[in-house]
Amino acid sequence: MLSVTNLNASIGPIPIIRGATLSVNDGEMCGLIGRNGAGKTTLFRALMGAVPATGKAELEHVDLLALPPHRRIAHGVGYMPEDRRLVPEFTVEENIRLPTWSVAVDRAEDRLKWIFSIMPEVERFRVRRALELSGGQQKMVALARALMAGTRILFLDEPFEGLAPALARRLGEVLANLKSEGVSVLIAESNEVHVLDLLARAYFIERGTVSDKRKSA
């Protein structure tokens, strides 16, 4: 369903991602495991159009790399950045609805209801401003926002990073439920312990190179 082929991405003059090839099947939860600085964020940012890239990234026969960033979101890609990027002054609900302000999301009201049904804790603080939430709660909201646009696939960048154990367990439950909903997900993690139970498969990234086998211990 998502098929990335020979993707190269640079930051300024520095090549960061080198010939990345990977795929995520329909409804599959797939890992992208690599230590800090390996290139996970840069790969996601390249797929979202925030970093220039060459190669191909076909999602349902459309090459994401050929689309401007907002059209990638409109094509059903949801992105949860590692640093959340919520608008602090907006309410939780406004943050979740944000993608629908710039692109048409199919049956957005039903989708919001569905998101609240799988994350009732997020519904409970829907009227609070994002800045009033803890970092961990903000991560849940960032996942909810990714789900709003991510009708085809979600890119989750270190969703467990910095979460207290109780919230990490809860996030694990939410992601496990997503599996039964048939959502395709690519999850980047530096510590695969958090995600091993969730993943169908994993890729490993080291110094910008992606492989389906771990290269070093």
- Residues forming the site for ligand ATP (CB under 6 A): 11, 14, 16, 34, 36-42, 158, 190
CB of residue 14 to ligand ATP, shortest distance in Å: 6
Q: Kindly state the smallest distance separating residue 17's Cβ from ligand ATP, in Å.
A: 8
Q: Give the whole-angstrom CA distance, residue 183 versus residue 85.
A: 22
End-to-end CA distance of the chain: 30
* Residue 181, token pair as written in the block: 């909903």
Q: Based on CB atoms, which residue is closest to ligand ATP, 85 or 107?
A: 85
3-state secondary structure of 88: coil
CB of 44 to ligand ATP, least distance (A): 8
Nearer to ligand ATP, 96 or 210 (CB): 210
Q: Are 41 and 82 in contact (CB under 8 A)?
A: yes
Q: How far is the CB of 41 from ligand ATP (least distance, A)?
A: 3
Q: Which is nearer to ligand ATP, 39 or 78 (CB)?
A: 39
Q: How far is the CB of 89 from ligand ATP (least distance, A)?
A: 26
Of 61, 82, 63, 81, nearest to 71 by C-alpha is 63
Structure tokens given for 201:
């498969």
Q: Which is nearer to ligand ATP, 42 or 138 (CB)?
A: 42
Query: With respect to ligand ATP, which residue has the nearer C-beta, 91 or 190?
Result: 190
Q: Which long-range CB contacts under 8 A does 121-125 form with residues at least 24 apart?
A: 121/170, 122/92, 122/96, 125/92
